[in-house]
Structure 1
């Protein structure tokens, strides 16, 4: 009930979405642009940062922003575009860029305070009704199907609304997923954790990775002239390094990548060291009256930095399925259920690739041989980066025919 003790009048929407970050705001915007009434709820107050993110938006994700008419808005925030990727393997260094997605050959690393606000503004411009500081407490059920939600407001009141479809976009620990008892279809333990900070005056030329035993160091240029500098740390070492990050991080840079350490020393650290470690999992994506999008339904190990690009992809897929489902009337759940197959078809290969990469173990000899054959074959190097950017399918790059082509040097650019 509200502060006066009277529950607010129940309202009805086509769609209620819980979670207003990347997946939630994007899905809300796309549903509203299709003419549906949308209520968007989030427990946080906006604008606000989201620290549990390394922020990378690959070419595939940037292409969706372009399709939605929002990429120029991101550019206008001063977030630099990234067209150069460097992978330092200690014994060799590979440079290139991922193949373009729908003509977009740029990646970006926006601060979440910037990106989330941009998406939320676009959703509201499309007609989405947004309530912040609204924490969903209970589902409204009817005939075994989700029919709406009740939530508490910032002033301690209670409100409720009904919907034809509830979408949980509320992150890896999704309360909506727990309320609907969404089955976990696959999961794996934490293999590594990420430790990072932001630096002013850090000279960065594009995106940088330094692959070392039990580590993957990284540099991304981001908003406000800053760079994100950090490391993926093997899970056995993660807790200790995170606890002593103020001293251990620079020590590790000195030992593993002296040139990176030198630039870090010359720069000015503008944040504390931030940490994140998460297990990967895949939940059932839909059920009677509900669906899950973004990390609520599928969380990959962050070593591939695929989270935001995945969220945009799945927002596209789910909004199309829900739109068709709403038109189907009584068959809405059967129509929306296609989203699971569509999501899994494109995500499981990268999910498995991320799981193996996150172990931070030396690659098997055939993969080492493949890396050894890459120098001088620029199109093959770019293809490999395209696996991460989701512009080259995992199965295509690691296909036997492509492997043979690279090993024979036939992919060398003329």
Structure 2
């Protein structure tokens, strides 16, 4: 029965998209007393996102914990996403300090496992109605604000009214377009292809990333002994990949430093990818509308941060709007709180990612910190915190960190210069 404070609305919130961001938001909102309609355009409850890094960065671990998903994904075989990174100065290999805590982590787990799992949890959450086969085709508008959606369903067109409409429908968000939310786009000078391999041994059994300036590659071990192997070359290489995708993909991997032995592994999927994958940034709110996940911000896939930000933005939204969504507060003010938090937490990362997406070589500051991280354990841990999106770009590149990196590199250069009496004898 409709609650008195919800008169005139079918639900408090309607969410378009029942993947990571949408399902997480539905669970977190419903636990705070919000009545949620969770719409998914696909009718199959086992549907999942195919083109993905399949990695959840450590910044999202607290969200997984709040959702109660950690035991379930570990049981499903999720792999802690430890990693090492190749640079021209050698490998950056973060390790916990001898007397310190273990390094923060989250998980690598294929979306074919993760998406149905979190969607099922959402459907079982009191206060959430999962509506499969519902595709948003329009918005209901009153007095300049959105008050619901129109959706195409297996039974025909349907109107669902709510105080708040949430777009969790990906980078090409229909909700964002229908609400005329402005978008800023940054071109990506790289393209990307990936495939899954079973029984592909990796050094140390952990993830590997290659910074080849400008080309990139990564290998992320996942559940069930499957590794995601991705290449992200400069678009100058695109003609060769178009002429021979499989040959170019495999040759690229074989040429990597300490290349994984793909010829002895079993490839279990097709090679898939995207030639054009621009970065998008949208204002995450409009009157009666909020955007989360890729609908609000689509990062460069080479950083593997999309899943983590999808979960984080869902949590930020739930914390900001839950009371107002039930009629017990000012919704516009709550949306402003969410917008400011989203912008403060993610804008700096997106700025750096958009700059690096031009496929330029490392700039002087990056050369300083990456070279130091390849030579010093403390600098490598600092790099790990940034790659895990646990410290901001400003903290990553703060004057103290840069000074420490400079000291590391000065000591390295001094240690590399032979003593004068040896150099004079030609030793």
Q: Which residue of 2 aligns with 1:134?
A: 134
Deviation of 1:40 after TM superposition, in Å, equals 0.5
Does the 8 A contact of 1:405 with 1:411 survive in 2?
Answer: no
1:59-208 matched pairs, under 5 angstroms = 59-83=58-82, 85-96=83-94, 105-127=104-126, 128-155=128-155, 157-184=156-183, 186-204=184-202, 205-208=205-208
CA 1:411–1:138 in structure 2 vs 1: closer, same or farther (change >3 Å)? farther
Query: Equivalent of 2:37, from 25, 36, 39?
Result: 39
Asked whether 1:311 is paired with 2:310, we answer yes
CA distance in 1, matches of 2:143, 2:71: 46
Does the 8 A contact of 1:195 with 1:233 survive in 2?
Answer: no
Aligned length: 396
In the alignment, structure 1 segments of 5+ residues that lack a partner are: 1-9
Deviation of 1:145 after TM superposition, in Å, equals 1.8
Kindly provide the CA deviation profile for residues 74-127 of structure 1, in whole angstroms up to 9, marking residues without a partner as x.
1010122233x111124411111589xx98822322111211112112212212
Query: Equivalent of 2:18, from 2, 17, 20?
Result: 20
Q: Which residue of 1 aligns with 2:373?
A: 374
Q: What CA RMSD, in Å, does the superposition of the two structures yield over aligned residues?
A: 2.3
CA 1:398–1:411 in structure 2 vs 1: closer, same or farther (change >3 Å)? farther
SS in 1 for 2:56: coil
Kindly provide the CA deviation profile for residues 155-181 of structure 1, in whole angstroms up to 9, marking residues without a partner as x.
5x1222111111011000000111110
Q: Which residue of 2 aligns with 1:7?
A: none
In the alignment, structure 2 segments of 5+ residues that lack a partner are: 1-7, 412-427
Does the 8 A contact of 2:40 with 2:134 survive in 1?
Answer: yes
CA 1:33–1:233 in structure 2 vs 1: closer, same or farther (change >3 Å)? same
Does the 8 A contact of 2:369 with 2:379 survive in 1?
Answer: no
Kindly provide the CA deviation profile for residues 41-68 of structure 1, in whole angstroms up to 9, marking residues without a partner as x.
0111221231121111111112320232
Q: Which residue of 2 aligns with 1:357?
A: 356
SS in 2 for 1:96: coil
CA distance in 2, matches of 1:411, 1:129: 60
Q: Which residue of 2 aligns with 1:214?
A: 214
CA distance in 2, matches of 1:411, 1:313: 39
SS in 2 for 1:64: helix
Does the 8 A contact of 1:379 with 1:411 survive in 2?
Answer: no
CA distance in 2, matches of 1:28, 1:242: 41
Larger radius of gyration: 2
Deviation of 1:252 after TM superposition, in Å, equals 1.5
CA 1:21–1:239 in structure 2 vs 1: closer, same or farther (change >3 Å)? farther
CA distance in 2, matches of 1:13, 1:104: 42
CA 1:139–1:223 in structure 2 vs 1: closer, same or farther (change >3 Å)? same
CA distance in 2, matches of 1:98, 1:241: 40
CA 1:324–1:239 in structure 2 vs 1: closer, same or farther (change >3 Å)? farther
1:228-307 matched pairs, under 5 angstroms = 228-238=228-238, 240-241=240-241, 244-257=244-257, 259-260=258-259, 263-276=261-274, 277-307=276-306
- TM-score normalised according to structure 2 size: 0.87
CA distance in 1, matches of 2:150, 2:347: 34
Deviation of 1:326 after TM superposition, in Å, equals 2.6
Which shows bigger deviation, 225-234 or 13-22?
225-234
SS in 1 for 2:259: helix
Does the 8 A contact of 1:328 with 1:335 survive in 2?
Answer: no
Deviation of 1:265 after TM superposition, in Å, equals 0.8
Which shows bigger deviation, 201-210 or 89-98?
89-98
CA 1:13–1:103 in structure 2 vs 1: closer, same or farther (change >3 Å)? farther
SS in 2 for 1:405: helix
Asked whether 1:398 is paired with 2:400, we answer no
SS in 2 for 1:231: strand
Deviation of 1:347 after TM superposition, in Å, equals 0.1
SS in 2 for 1:192: coil
Does the 8 A contact of 1:97 with 1:385 survive in 2?
Answer: no
Q: Which residue of 2 aligns with 1:5?
A: none
Does the 8 A contact of 2:373 with 2:383 survive in 1?
Answer: no
**Runs of 4+ that moved beyond 4 A:** 327-330
CA distance in 1, matches of 2:21, 2:103: 21
